[in-house]
Amino acid sequence: MEYSDRLKKLPVQFFASLVEKVNKAKAEGRDIINLGQGNPDQPTPTHIVRALQSAAEDPEMHKYSPFRGLQELKNAAAEFYKREYGVEIDPNTEVAILFGTKTGLVELPLCLLNEGELMLLPDPGYPDYLSGAVLANVQYELFPLKAENQFLPDYGAISSEKGEAAKLMYLNYPNNPTGATADLTFFEETVAFAKENNITILHDFAYGAIGFDGKKPTSFLQAEGAKDIGVEMYTLSKTYNMAGWRVGFAVGNAKVISALNLIQDHLYVSLFPAIQKAAVAALTEEQQCVEELVSRYERRRNALIDACHSIGWKAEAPTGSFFAWLPVPAGFTSEEFADFLLEKADVAVAAGKGFGEYGEGYVRVGLLVDEERLVEAIERIGKTEVFN
């Protein structure tokens, strides 16, 4: 019995090899400071957990959910977008409930593209974007995100041939892995580019709550005309520390939402209703937990960057997300530097090359341990004298 060609073509899971290296080092009894992960380290807020507990005790929640999710959660998503971004969402036609947004990101090419058609993906970018392209058996073209352009795509550098051929484009701000953010002007340019070339836009807003220096990240849907050509996916994983709960949603263009709902009709009977009830509590009840979380990440960011500067590591502070994108010193590739840090400093980071060709020259560091541990990690790296 053999795997299908689709499975054989799937990209190697980059993070699996990182986890394997870290686990091997830990098994040797070493004290590894793991800054390579993307898993929130704080617990889900208590009021959300209690909402789940209460709902799980209700026998009505033990039945199948409606195929397309609870109306209450769709209403909550619409209310959330109105409150947070001033964006009007029709809960009946412009919301799709997702098993975490990773599912939606992988499903969307299957919904909108035929085999062999073209989609545009960022480089560096979230590795699982490629998974959707491979499973749908479509072509993809990578567009670079460069420091000199604040890690935003340069639409003028995308050839007219590629622009005209492309049917779907993925964006992600605040950005994983670079920590860059995008403003309303950029999203207005995106809408113009998409309309000119008849491209559907998917904005992955996974880190939508996490902006620094008093600046709230901008939603793609705040740009005029955005709903004409695209959708935004929002996960509760980062905003509410609900990564293991696997719940998110897509909002925006009704036709794209209908396509997502249709494919999910054939894959799922939506997710456990009690989790949906907890998601409603997260989106609609007090938001102080989010403010406190963002403040925590900002303190960690500041501690990390100050520590980097103290050892001569010329690092730029991220403006959003819970990642820092740090330059690799001369004489190393990103993978070599990541291996060096694990071996010589007992510090794990993610090699930039794992996020694409233009990730070379950087490592990604997660702000997912406390400030003291972040500073200790940088002090350990300083002792290797690699920046002397």
Question: For residue 267, what is the DSSP state?
Answer: T
Query: What's the rounded Cα separation, in Å, for the pair 256 and 240?
Result: 26
147 is a domain residue: yes
56 is a domain residue: yes
Q: Are 61 and 208 found together in one domain?
A: yes
322 is a domain residue: yes
Residue 158, domain CATH: 3.40.640.10
Q: How confident is the prediction for the chain on average, in pLDDT?
A: 96
- Domain total of the chain: 2
155 is a domain residue: yes
Q: Are 125 and 220 found together in one domain?
A: yes
Q: Are 175 and 131 found together in one domain?
A: yes
Q: Are 279 and 293 found together in one domain?
A: no
Residue 348, domain CATH: 3.90.1150.10
Q: What is the pTM of this model?
A: 0.96
What pLDDT, in 10s, does the model give residues 124-174? 999 999 999 999 999 999 999 999 999 999 999 999 999 999 999 999 999
Instruction: Work out whether the CA dihedral 66, 72, 73, 75 comes out positive or negative.
Output: positive
Question: Quick count: other Cβ atoms within 10 Å of Cβ 379?
Answer: 14
Which of these three, 252, 269, 284, is where a domain ends?
Answer: 284
Q: Are 193 and 332 found together in one domain?
A: no
Q: Are 126 and 249 found together in one domain?
A: yes
Q: Are 130 and 121 in contact (CB under 8 A)?
A: yes
Instruction: Give the max Cα distance, the chain.
Output: 64
Q: Are 65 and 132 found together in one domain?
A: yes
Which of these three, 267, 284, 301, is where a domain ends?
Answer: 284
Which of these three, 246, 263, 284, is where a domain ends?
Answer: 284
Q: Are 317 and 201 found together in one domain?
A: no
User: pLDDT at position 16, please?
Assistant: 80
388 is a domain residue: no
Q: Are 138 and 119 in contact (CB under 8 A)?
A: yes
Q: Are 87 and 222 found together in one domain?
A: yes
Q: Are 58 and 199 found together in one domain?
A: yes
Structural domain for 161, as ranges: 48-284
Chain center to CA of 7: 23
211 is a domain residue: yes
Chain center to CA of 144: 17
235 is a domain residue: yes
Q: Are 272 and 354 found together in one domain?
A: no
pLDDT in tens, the chain (388 residues): 999 999 999 988 777 888 899 999 999 999 999 999 899 999 999 999 999 999 999 999 999 999 999 999 999 999 999 999 999 999 999 999 999 999 999 999 999 999 999 999 999 999 999 999 999 999 999 999 999 999 999 999 999 999 999 999 999 999 999 999 999 999 999 999 999 999 999 999 999 999 999 999 999 999 999 999 999 999 999 999 999 999 999 999 999 999 999 999 999 989 999 999 999 999 999 999 999 999 999 999 999 999 999 999 999 999 999 999 999 999 999 999 999 999 999 999 999 999 999 999 999 999 999 999 999 999 999 999 999 8
Q: Are 224 and 318 found together in one domain?
A: no
What pLDDT, in 10s, does the model give residues 307-346? 999 999 999 999 999 999 999 999 999 999 999 999 999 9
